[in-house]
Amino acid sequence: MAKPLRIGLVGYGFMGRAHSNAYRQVNQFFELEHRPVMAAACARNEAKLKAFADNWGWESTETDWRRLIDRPDIDAIDIGSPNNTHSEIALAAAAAGKMVLCEKPLAMDGAEARRMTQAVEQASVPNFVWFNYRRVPAIALARQVVQEGRIGRPFHYRAQYLQDWTISPDLPLGGATLWRLDADVAGSGVSGDLVAHSIDTAMWLNGPITSVTGMTEIFVKERALQDDPSQTKAVTIDDACQFMCRFGNGSLGLFESTRYARGRKNYNTLELNGEKASVYFDLEDPHRLQYYDHGDVGHLHGWRGIHVTGFEHPYMKNWWVPGCTIGYEHTFINSLADFLKGLETGVPSAPTFRDALHTQLVLDAVLESARTGSWIDIDYAD
């Protein structure tokens, strides 16, 4: 009989739904010692919260996250609310001895992420950040290929994360759905929202980034407020962010991200070129890992598209039969399964708060470089 792990979720937006779905499904597909119990969902709007909790099967609701943390029947706090709420909730949850799971980006900036990391580490509570793209089977296979030494000496890493949903100047900012455009709530723009994913994956595949130089742009400088369209607010998030970097292993990196790439909806790509082989992934073709192996016989040199849906591929033996695909929501289920496995084995599942702190420090350096026009070295030391 699996041990119940009683979850208190904060937030009921996009990520509240993705996490709820993971809690509901994980034990159906993974054999685990723990069984998450959807004990309580928490948000401020009582009516919307009730509808959300009923829809997803949360046992109870709280409208104040402090009460949620005070509840002795809750083992883990899952933070899926906007970025400016992460720190206070995580610090209180850690102080109360609860496990803490947190949506990305971990924090508004590196200083906040460091305090959060120190809090969970001092309290010795399991902690985890939902950088879900690590759990795309094709990306996990890319990591396996790197770990197996197939790439050889790495030379280049390149990533793009492009969307187009903020192009219209008529799009307001703030409120329940457009807080990602408000720096006071989001901390930053595409850097924290999208580049954070790219950096997390990059450092997982290719090791630490040691120095960066970047640039950002704000294309629409002022927007109406979603909650009060008669008012406007200056846009201070980065609409687009590009940077070059050096990795500790000697390779060079190139990153581009924007929400102004017309036609690109959730275009998230990566490519790693090594002496022996290369890998390429594109989230718009999510089941395929492109692999080029220079060791192949000369006349058969070419990119092979591996359809990552076999039993031998990461996560796929837990799903359907070979060739059958899984989707975006499964990356959250795979993430949760790994977190729960970490509790079982005592080997914490990554990314932990410390891993996410490192991503945040790279983001801070990119934004500082964009402001100052200079190269910034990254110091990961506490």
Residues that bind ligand SOE (CB under 6 A): 163, 193, 266
Residue 295 three-state SS: coil
CB of 171 to ligand SOE, least distance (A): 12
CB of 342 to ligand SOE, least distance (A): 22
Q: Which is nearer to ligand SOE, 160 or 278 (CB)?
A: 160
**By the 8 A CB rule, do 89 and 61 touch?**
no
CB of 104 to ligand SOE, least distance (A): 6
In this structure, the strands spanning 252-258 and 154-162 are: parallel
Q: What is the amino acid identity at position 211?
A: S
Q: Which of 42, 101, 88 is nearest to 67 (CA)?
A: 42
CB of 22 to ligand SOE, least distance (A): 14
C-alpha span between 148 and 141 (Å, rounded): 10
Q: Which is nearer to ligand SOE, 7 or 196 (CB)?
A: 196
CB of 315 to ligand SOE, least distance (A): 18
Residue 205 three-state SS: helix
**By the 8 A CB rule, do 98 and 125 touch?**
yes
Residue 360 three-state SS: helix
Q: Which is nearer to ligand SOE, 133 or 319 (CB)?
A: 133
Q: Which is nearer to ligand SOE, 267 or 291 (CB)?
A: 267
CB of 292 to ligand SOE, least distance (A): 27
**By the 8 A CB rule, do 79 and 101 touch?**
yes
**By the 8 A CB rule, do 339 and 130 touch?**
no
Q: Which is nearer to ligand SOE, 132 or 251 (CB)?
A: 132
Q: Which is nearer to ligand SOE, 121 or 164 (CB)?
A: 164
What residue is closest to ligand SOE based on CB?
A: 193
